[in-house]
Amino acid sequence: MKEALVIQGLDGKKTLSGSINVNGAKNAVLQAFAMSLLFKDELVLKNVPEIEDVKNMVEIFKSLGVSVVRKSKGVYAIKVPNKISTVLPEEISKKFRASIVLTGPILSRFGSVSFPHPGGCVIGSRPIDIFLNGFESLSAKIKESEKGYTINSDGKLKGTKIFLRIQSVTGLQTLMMAGVLAKGKTIIKNAPLEPETKNLADFMNLCGAKIKGAGTSTIEITGTGPLAAKGKVFNTPPDRIEAGSFLILGAVAAERLEINNCNPGDFESLIETLKYCGVNIEVLKNKVLVTNKKGGVYRSADIKTHEYPGFPTDLQAPMTVFLTQAEGEALIFETIFEGRLNYMSELVRMGADIRLCDPHRAIVRGPTPLRGREVESPDIRAGLAFIIAGIIANGESIIHNVHYIDRGYEKIEERLRSLGLNIKRVEITA
C-alpha cells in the first residue's frame, strides 16, 4: 500500500501556533539497539521513537533470534541469548543503512557476521571501506561475494590503532562497539564529535565498558567482557535534527511555536544561523521558542554543511526551504553527500529560484512565493523539507514516497495538525 501526504498551504501566512514535543533521536536509538547485543542481561530502552527504522530494526533482531518486547509506547526490552544467527536478513537490511551498525557488536561477541551490501536513502556514496578496513585492523578476515560480505574473527578481535580516513559517525560507533569486547586497547583517531556517540559511550561505561575520550577526536577503548545493565535503563536523547526541523518550520510558518523536550546546545549552529537571519528565537532549558512579527523579513545566509558541531547535512534541505523565503542570495555548500541536492529540482517546480552549480553547490535567491505541487520525496530529510515547502505554499501539495519520512519522523501529520495545519495521509491507488 502506497501513501501520500496532502497539505493545504498557508500561502505564506505565519498562522501556526502551539507547542510540539521532540521525540527520541533516530540516530541514537538505532545504535542503542546495536549496543544491546553486547549485554549479557536484559536491556531496557526508553523514549524510543515509533518510526519505520525502529520497526525494521526490531524485525532484524527477531530474525537473529534476539528477544525484543515492546513494554509500552516508546519502551522496549531486549534480551540476547548466548547464541544467535549472525546473518543479517537481506530484504530488511537493505531498507535502511543503519543496519550495518549491528556488524561490530555481532562480530565482536559472536565471532562472525554476514551482511548484504547496504541500502538506505539515495543521497550519495557512503563508502563501506571505513567499516571493512577497521575490521581488518582488528584482525578480522573478510570475504566478499555478489550478495555481500562475510567477516570472521573466531572470537579473537585484537585492539589496534585506527585512523578514520573519513569522519563516519556510523563507522566510528560500529568500530567502538567492536572494540568493547576486543582483546587489549583500541584507539580510534579522527573521530567525529556527534553527541549521540558520547551518549552511547557514557551508558556503556556505566555498564562495565572502558571507553575514554568519547566526544573528542581520539577515543580509547579497553576491551572487557560482555556488558551488564543490572536494571539500568537507556533513555534515548532528544532528536536534534527533528528539533531543528521544527525550528525552521516555526520560522517560516508559525506565529508562535514552542519546541519542547530538546537540548538546544546540540543544534546551536542552526539556532545561531537563524538568529543571524533575523528569526526571533528564545532559548530556554530543554525548549526553544520562536515567534514572528507581522511583516518581518528575513535575510539570507550562506550555508556550508559540516560534521558536528558544524551545520548538519540533515538540516540542509529544510534550511534551503527557509532561504527561499529570505531576502537576498545564499550559497548552499553540501560537503558531506554528493547526491543530497537532487531534491532541489522539485522546489524549483514549486516556484523556488535555485540554480545548481555542481553536485555540491547551489545558489538560492529569495524571497519567492511557492505554489503547491505533487512531488516525490527522495529521502527522509528532503521529505520533511517538502512538508515545510507545502505548508508555506499557495494551494495543495501532495508528497509521495511518504515511507521515507516515516523512517525518521513519527506520525508527522498528526503532530502538525495539532498546530493548526490542514494535512492528511491518503492511500494511493495505482
Give tens-digit pLDDT for 253-271: 999 999 999 999 999 999 9
Q: Are residues 160 and 31 in the same domain?
A: yes
CA dist 24 and 241 (Å) reads: 10
Q: Which entry of 121, 207, 262, 277 is annotated as an active-site residue?
A: 121
Residue 119: pLDDT over 80: no
Sheet hosting strand 422-428, strand order edge to edge: 374-376, 396-400, 2-8, 422-428
3-class SS at 81? coil
Q: How far apart are CA 323 and CA 305, in angstroms?
A: 15
Dihedral (C-alpha) 185, 186, 190, 196: value to the nearest 10 degrees?
-100
Inter-residue contact 360 to 339 (CB < 8 Å): no
d(CA 219, CA 106): 21
What is d(CA 334, CA 341) in angstroms, rounded to the nearest whole number? Answer: 8
CA dihedral 399, 400, 404, 405 (to 10 degrees): 20
Task: Please check whether residues 209 and 249 belong to one and the same domain.
Answer: no
Q: What's residue 276's pLDDT?
A: 97
Residue 105 in grid coordinates: 557488536
Residues 189 and 278 in one domain: no
Tell me: do 308 and 219 sit in the same domain: no
Residue 357 among the catalytic residues: no
Euclidean distance between CA atoms 214 and 288, whole angstroms: 27
pLDDT tens digits, residue range 60-75?
Answer: 999 999 999 999 999 9
> Domain with 294 in it: what CATH number?
3.65.10.10
CA angle (29, 33, 37) in 5-degree steps: 155
pLDDT band of 114, cuts 50, 70, 90: very high
283 and 164 inside one domain: no
Q: Say whether pLDDT at 221 is over 70.
A: yes
Q: Tens of pLDDT along 304-363?
A: 999 999 999 999 999 999 999 999 999 999 999 878 899 999 999 999 999 999 999 999
Is 101:123 a contact under the CB 8 Å cutoff?
no
Q: How many whole angstroms separate alpha carbon 19 and alpha carbon 26? A: 21
Do 159 and 263 reside in the same domain of the chain? no
Q: Assess whether 248 and 393 both reside in one domain.
A: yes
pLDDT tens profile 327-341: 999 999 999 987 889
Final residue of a domain: which of 209, 235, 261?
Answer: 235
Please tell me whether residues 164 and 308 are part of one structural domain.
no
Q: Are strands 210-212 and 2-8 parallel, antiparallel or unpaired?
A: unpaired
Phi, psi of 64 (to 5 degrees): -80, -15
Taking the C-alpha atoms of residue 395 and residue 178, their distance in angstroms, rounded to an integer, is: 51
- What is the number of other CB atoms lying within 10 angstroms of the CB of residue 1? 6
pTM of the model: 0.94
Q: Domain check: are 152 and 278 in the same one?
A: no
Do 252 and 280 fall into the same domain? yes
**Residue recorded with cell 578514520:** 164
**Residues 272, 35 contacting (CB under 8 angstroms):** no
**Among 184, 201, 235, residue at a domain's last position:** 235
Note whether 410 and 23 are within 8 A (CB): yes
Contact between 229 and 236 under an 8 Å Cβ cutoff? The reply is: no
The answer to whether 10 and 408 have CB atoms below 8 angstroms apart is no
Question: Residue 118 pLDDT > 80, yes or no?
Answer: no
Q: Are 171 and 138 in contact (CB under 8 A)?
A: no
What residues contact residue 330 under an 8 Å CB cut-off, 6+ apart? 300, 301, 302, 303, 323, 363, 364, 365, 366
Residue ranges making up the domain that contains 34? 26-235
Q: Are 259 and 250 in contact (CB under 8 A)?
A: yes
Using only C-alpha atoms, the chain has a radius of gyration, in whole angstroms, of 22
Last residue of a domain, one of 235, 266, 294: 235
pLDDT in tens, 286-302: 999 999 977 678 999 99
Amino acid at 96: F
Claim to verify: residue 182 and residue 121 sit in the same structural domain = yes
Number of domains in the chain: 2
If asked whether residues 7 and 68 sit together in one domain, one would say: no
